[in-house]
A and B are shown apart, each in its own frame.
Chain A
Amino acid sequence: MSLDYVKFSPGFEGFMPKEYRDMVEHGPFGKKTSVSQMGSFKEILEEHPMCAGCAMTLFIRLAIIAFPNPEDTITVGTAGCGRLAISQAAIPFVYGNYGDQNGVASGLSRGLRLRFGDQPKDVVVMVGDGGMADIGFSGTLHSWFRKEKFTTIMLDNEVYGNTGGQESGMTNQGAVLKMAPLGKKFEKMDMLSMAKLAGCAYVATVVPNNPRRVENVIRKAVLIAREVGPTYIQAYTSCNIEYAIPTDKVLEDCKTVEDDRYKFSEHITEDARDYLADRYGYKEFMPKPAMAAISKA
């Protein structure tokens, strides 16, 4: 949980694999990196077994780059596709039982605050729609109602992609899938409204076809979760296997879905605005000078 854990044990430098050496010498730990520098530094995410062209992987890659302090971050996940990539990263990953991830993250977040005090240690939950909106629903909502300070990110592929295509709570009404041949009979769950109702300090929807926006949103959510309250990001990360999207059309599909039902939206409380402006100098949330003062000047 500090820069010390990303360095060689004395005497082992020559035996470490190239990827490890690159990570120690040219990784993003302790530096400010952004998506515009991608391709010129060693990324925390390594090779992973996710399907070719998976939009979820793209989102995870962008999200991990966006963490403000990767050396002080722990990710929490559960069963589902996402953990296959998140666990292949050079930051600690905790695997909660299916549905337990927000409970695990609550304990972890509280424990880290007791142990490290004011020194920020970020806990980020990244789970699919099934793990969060179906099986982990009560745990997720309770952690929000308890105002647990960590970030929750839903990787919404609108299907149980890992187990053959069953419908989830986040699947759209009428969607026909391999394991839901009659089509889904109910509406997509409105997790955004539930997050707002439960008192999340920051709620946003995002699609991975805008890397800078993904970076911006994740960074805000992680910073707000340090002191203000729970934050929730819902990301559309299509399953190109279950929805039969050709891999080279995945980003086109992202754009279509963004225009249709995943328009960028951001809900931020007054406390969170003030916190970002005061502590981290976010100009967009700084109080605007009154018109009279401008005209006098």
Chain B
Amino acid sequence: MYLVANINIDICAATSCKLCTQFCPEANTINYNTELGKDEGYKYGSAYVAVDRCKGCAQCVWVCDNMAKHHAITMVMIDQLPKAAMTDYITYGEKSTTAQLVNPTAGSE
């Protein structure tokens, strides 16, 4: 098993700084969904990780902890995530993306 980044949506949606999406070395790995957290009253959405593309470098953790100071990202063993976003289940919209969460180790629901 290996580590992947996991974003706490409650903390991320409260700030929506988007720094992690700009500092990830992998393309389309940390994506942004403007709808996440809206049911809890947050306005601007949250970032989330496409775990099949994450190489586990933890740069986003450093950025979130030290540059943004939000502490919203942690590294988690992939089999500890019951549901996560994966590239095949991400839909692109005009200004946002949406992800259907699936079991990352099985690669499907």
Contacts and interface: CB of A to CB of B under 8 A. Distances in A.
B25 A39 contact: no
Interface in A40-73: 40-48, 50, 52-55, 57-58, 61-62
Contact of A39 (B21, B56, B66, B87): B21
B57 A248 contact: yes
Interface stretch (A18-26, A103-111, A139-147, A168-176): A18-26
B27 A45 contact: yes
Given A18-B87, A39-B30, A39-B31, A249 B62 contact: yes
Contacts of A36: 18, 22
Contacts of A38: 18, 21-22, 32
A35 B58 contact: no
Interface residues of B, number: 32
Interface residues of A, number: 36
B92 A251 contact: no
A209 B24 CA distance: 11
A57 B25 contact: yes
B23 A251 contact: yes
A138 interface: no
A68 B31 CA distance: 22
Contacts of A18: 87-88
A250 interface: yes
Contacts of A40: 31-32, 34, 92-93, 95-97
Given A18-B87, A43-B28, A252 B62 contact: yes
Contacts of A37: 95
Interface in B4-59: 18, 21-28, 30-32, 34, 47, 53, 55-59
Contact of B92 (A26, A48, A53, A249): A26
A62 B27 CA distance: 10
Interface centre among A22, A25, A41, A45 (most CB of B within 10 A): A41
B57 A250 contact: yes
A247 interface: yes
A184 B5 CA distance: 38
Contact of A251 (B63, B88, B96, B97): B63
Interface in A125-154: none
Given A39-B21, A46-B27, A61-B25, A248 B87 contact: no
A58 B56 contact: no
A57 B88 contact: no
Contacts of B53: 47
B84 interface: no
Interface centre among B63, B92, B93 (most CB of A within 10 A): B92
B78 interface: no
A43 B30 CA distance: 12
Contacts of B95: 37, 40
Contact of A248 (B27, B28, B62): B62
A77 interface: no
A47 B26 contact: yes
Interface of A: 18-19, 22, 25-26, 35-48, 50, 52-55, 57-58, 61-62, 209, 211, 247-252
Interface of B: 18, 21-28, 30-32, 34, 47, 53, 55-59, 61-63, 66-67, 87-88, 92-93, 95-97
17 contacts: A26-B93, A37-B95, A38-B32, A39-B28, A39-B32, A40-B96, A42-B92, A43-B27, A47-B26, A47-B53, A52-B25, A52-B57, A61-B25, A248-B57, A248-B59, A248-B62, A252-B66
Given A37-B95, A57-B26, A250-B62, 10 more contacts: A25-B92, A38-B22, A38-B32, A40-B34, A42-B28, A53-B59, A62-B22, A211-B22, A247-B57, A252-B62
